[in-house]
């Protein structure tokens, strides 16, 4: 089974702040990490390779420093890594990004499976995986929590609100992965040392085959983020727990009266 895993480097959201004047994210001085859900997707790929054989390629679209994220993927066990990096990709939204990643899947394939995290921490749209599937014309399964290969195809447990849906699909397929059964493994020291020396292929707009410059960057992005902000924090709630239900009801009525709610 030949698998491609889409990886994104994102700012550590626990340390990021919002400019109160412009409403834009302040990224200066904020460390970057691999999107945690992409690590779940990588773990799923490694487990599938271990069970059924094949290879795992980690692919990232980002600035040159995203090479660090790919080396982390190699340290975990990915067989190869590709960085798609060019200034013309700057300001690409999810649709433009998906266009680029789908071209990478065609150029380095054929793949049986393309995996993405269920969403990224910085955008949380969950759109890239389904859009890649649309560009490729492949089947897609979102929120995959468990995958296994059978004689009939790929059986996928799909997390849904209130339950799990079991899906049988043929490959090639694009899946977005949850963390339920795919807790990322720790890289070994041997893996880290090997990853430092491993080659990473760099693709630019000139070497990515089939690229439409009108579908990337700001000009090729039909959506944009006009402002980011931190939601206001409301007043903390009040827990009423008197000695009896009657006293609790009386206390509630008193508080509502004080707030002129009744």
Query: Is residue 220 one of the residues assigned to a domain?
Result: no
Average pLDDT over residues 155-174: 92
Strands 173-177 and 163-169: unpaired
Task: Assess whether pLDDT exceeds 90 at residue 217.
Answer: no
Higher pLDDT, 29 or 68: 68
pLDDT of residue 232 exceeding 90:
no
User: pTM for the complete prediction?
Assistant: 0.79
Alpha carbon 220 to chain centroid distance?
Answer: 21
Residues 88, 205 contacting (CB under 8 angstroms): yes
Provide the edge-to-edge strand list for the sheet that holds 139-150.
163-169, 153-160, 139-150, 173-177, 113-117, 2-7, 55-61, 80-84, 201-203
Q: Contact 153/169 with Cβ under 8 angstroms?
A: yes
Mark whether 204 and 127 lie in a shared domain: yes
- Whether residue 124 sits in one domain with residue 90: yes
Is pLDDT at 138 greater than 90 in this prediction? yes
- Closest residue by Cα to residue 93 from 241, 223, 246, 237: 223
- Do 204 and 86 contact (CB within 8 A), yes or no? yes
The CATH number given to whatever domain includes residue 192 is 3.40.50.620
227 occurs within a structural domain: no
Residue 126 has pLDDT above 90, yes or no: no
pLDDT at 124: 73
- In three-state secondary structure terms, 92 is coil
Is 74 in the same domain as 159?
yes
Q: Are residues 59 and 29 in the same domain?
A: yes
Q: Does the residue 228 lie in any domain? A: no
By residue range, what is the domain housing residue 135?
A: 2-215
Q: Are residues 114 and 183 in the same domain?
A: yes
Q: Are 193 and 78 contained in the same domain?
A: yes
How many domains is the chain built from?
2
Average pLDDT over residues 113-132: 86
d(CA 182, CA 44) in angstroms, rounded, equals 6
At residue 13, the pLDDT reads 63
If asked whether residues 126 and 189 sit together in one domain, one would say yes
């Amino acid at each position: 089974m030949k698998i491609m895993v889409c990886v994104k480097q994102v700012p550590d959201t626990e340390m990021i702040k919002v400019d109160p004047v412009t409403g834009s994210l302040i990224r200066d001085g904020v460390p970057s990490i691999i999107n945690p859900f992409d690590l779940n997707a990588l773990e799923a790929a490694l487990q599938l390779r271990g069970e059924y054989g094949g290879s795992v390629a980690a692919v990232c679209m980002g600035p040159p420093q995203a090479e660090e994220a790919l080396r982390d993927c190699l340290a975990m066990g990915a067989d190869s890594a590709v960085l798609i990096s060019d200034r013309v990709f700057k300001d690409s939204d999810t649709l433009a990004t998906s266009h680029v990643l789908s071209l990478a899947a065609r150029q380095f394939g054929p793949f049986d499976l393309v995996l993405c995290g269920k969403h990224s921490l910085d955008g949380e749209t969950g759109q890239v995986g389904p859009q890649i599937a649309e560009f490729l014309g492949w089947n897609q399964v979102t929120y995959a929590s468990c995958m296994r290969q059978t004689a009939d195809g790929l059986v996928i447990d799909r997390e849904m609100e209130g339950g799990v849906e079991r899906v049988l699909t043929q490959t090639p397929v694009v899946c977005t992965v949850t963390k339920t059964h795919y807790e990322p493994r720790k890289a070994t020291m041997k893996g880290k040392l090997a990853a430092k020396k491993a080659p990473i292929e760099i693709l630019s707009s000139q070497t990515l085959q089939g690229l439409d410059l009108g579908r990337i960057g700001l000009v090729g992005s039909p959506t944009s983020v006009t402002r980011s902000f931190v939601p206001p924090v409301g007043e903390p709630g009040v827990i009423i727990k008197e000695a009896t239900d009657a006293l609790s009801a009386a206390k509630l009525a008193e508080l509502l009266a004080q707030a002129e709610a009744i």
